[in-house]
Amino acid sequence: MTAQQTGSSAPTGGDSLVALENVDKWFGELHVLQDINLRIRRGEVVVVIGPSGSGKSTLCRTINRLETIDKGAISLDGQPLPAEGKALAQLRAEVGMVFQSFNLFAHKTILENVTLGPIKVRGIAKAEAETRARELLDRVGVGHQAEKYPAQLSGGQQQRVAIARALAMEPKVMLFDEPTSALDPEMIKEVLDVMVDLAKRGMTMVVVTHEMGFARTAADRVVFMADGAIVEENTPEEFFGNPRSDRARDFLSKIL
Ligand code: ADP
Ligand code: MG
């Protein structure tokens, strides 16, 4: 282990893969992120829960700089987030993101959806990208759909393709923002199963979800947000069994 640089103003995040330090963000008058401190270790699965409007999506979006911050610092794998240009594109390739809406390219096949990033951004040869894409599509259970278009697949299948597409970039961390919220109930499990498998394989994951079963099974840590702040964080056992704050107790009483 090399010595950490000291005396440098750039945050290194220590041994964290993702580190947010004293992060503040405003949307006009709205203080949407309030002094957020969050360190995510390599291989850790962090579930973020909290009421609607508490800042969960904004938090995710700051990590791949889809949103800028007003104060504080964010680092990925010891490097401060680049502001723009090629370095920013590089960073985004290292942070996989899966949204509530699947956001697949409608006029490209499933296979093309998964190979596009690796070919264009990573510069991988088409044949190699296709081999890898087919492996990933098999892994998420949609290998037989590779030549189809997104609209020909169910919502659950499309979301699994979106996960495969993110994984094809070989990200260091995967962010999931309510990945099952837009799905019919019978399709939720097939997506959660893929996520549980990914967690078991050691992927570093930040997951915003209302699926408390997933949080209990797969999370190393639950982070509870309310009104832009992290109110409480704990292991799932402790958080669900013994929530400390009134806000968390109130929230859990409504969803459990
Ligand atoms: P959550 O994901 O927890 O529901 P969000 O991060 O989406 O919360 O939103 C937090 C707050 O910020 C909400 O009050 C929302 O209306 C507001 N907000 C989100 N995005 C924007 C934006 N681009 N401009 C202004 N306000 C926003
Ligand atoms: Mg949200």
Give the model confidence (pLDDT) of 23-56 as tens digits. 999 999 999 999 999 999 999 999 999 999 999 9
The alpha carbon of 100 and the centre of ligand 2 are apart by a number of angstroms equal to 9
The alpha carbon of 209 and the centre of ligand 1 are apart by a number of angstroms equal to 16
pLDDT band at 181 (very low <50, low <70, confident <90, very high): very high
pLDDT band at 88 (very low <50, low <70, confident <90, very high): confident
Instruction: Reply yes or no on whether the pLDDT at 5 is more than 50.
Output: no
Instruction: Reply yes or no on whether the pLDDT at 11 is more than 80.
Output: no
* Ligand 1 pocket at CB < 6 A: 27, 30, 32, 50, 52-58
The percentage of residues in the chain with a pLDDT greater than 70, rounded to a whole number, is: 95
Question: How far is C-alpha 170 from the geometric centre of its chain's CA atoms?
Answer: 13
Residue nearest to atom 6 of ligand 1 (CA): 55
3-state secondary structure the chain: CCCCCCCCCCCCCCCEEEEEEEEEEEECCEEEEEEEEEEEECCCEEEEECCCCCCHHHHHHHHCCCCCCCEEEEEECCEECCCCHHHHHHHHHHEEEECCCCCCCCCCCHHHHHHHHHHHCCCCCHHHHHHHHHHHHHHCCCHHHCCCCHHHCCHHHHHHHHHHHHHCCCCCEEEEECCCCCCCHHHHHHHHHHHHHHHHCCCEEEEECCCHHHHHHHCCEEEEEECCEEEEEECHHHHHHCCCCHHHHHHHHHHC
Choosing from 32, 60, 62, 100 the residue with most ligand 1 atoms within 8 A of its CB, the one to mutate for a pocket test is 32
pLDDT at residue number 255: 85
Query: What number is the average pLDDT over the span 227-232?
Result: 98
pLDDT at residue number 94: 92
For all residues of the chain together, what is the average pLDDT?
92
Query: What number is the average pLDDT over the span 216-226?
Result: 97
Which value, in Å, is the radius of gyration of the alpha carbons in the chain?
Answer: 18
pLDDT at residue number 14: 60
Instruction: Identify which has the larger pLDDT, 78 or 47.
Output: 47
pLDDT band at 104 (very low <50, low <70, confident <90, very high): very high
pLDDT digits (tens, 9 = 90+) for 243-255: 999 999 999 999 8
Instruction: Reply yes or no on whether the pLDDT at 95 is more than 90.
Output: yes
Nearest atom, ligand 1, residue 225 CA: 3
pLDDT digits (tens, 9 = 90+) for 108-138: 999 999 999 999 988 999 999 999 999 999 9
Does the ipTM surpass 0.90? yes
pLDDT band at 100 (very low <50, low <70, confident <90, very high): very high
The alpha carbon of 176 and the centre of ligand 2 are apart by a number of angstroms equal to 10
CA 21/CA 11 separation, integer angstroms: 8
Choosing from 23, 27, 62, 223 the residue with most ligand 1 atoms within 8 A of its CB, the one to mutate for a pocket test is 27
Q: Which bound ligand lies closest to the C-alpha atom of 54?
A: 1
- From residue 160, alpha-carbon distances to 56, 95, 126, 153, 253 in Å are 22, 17, 22, 10, 31
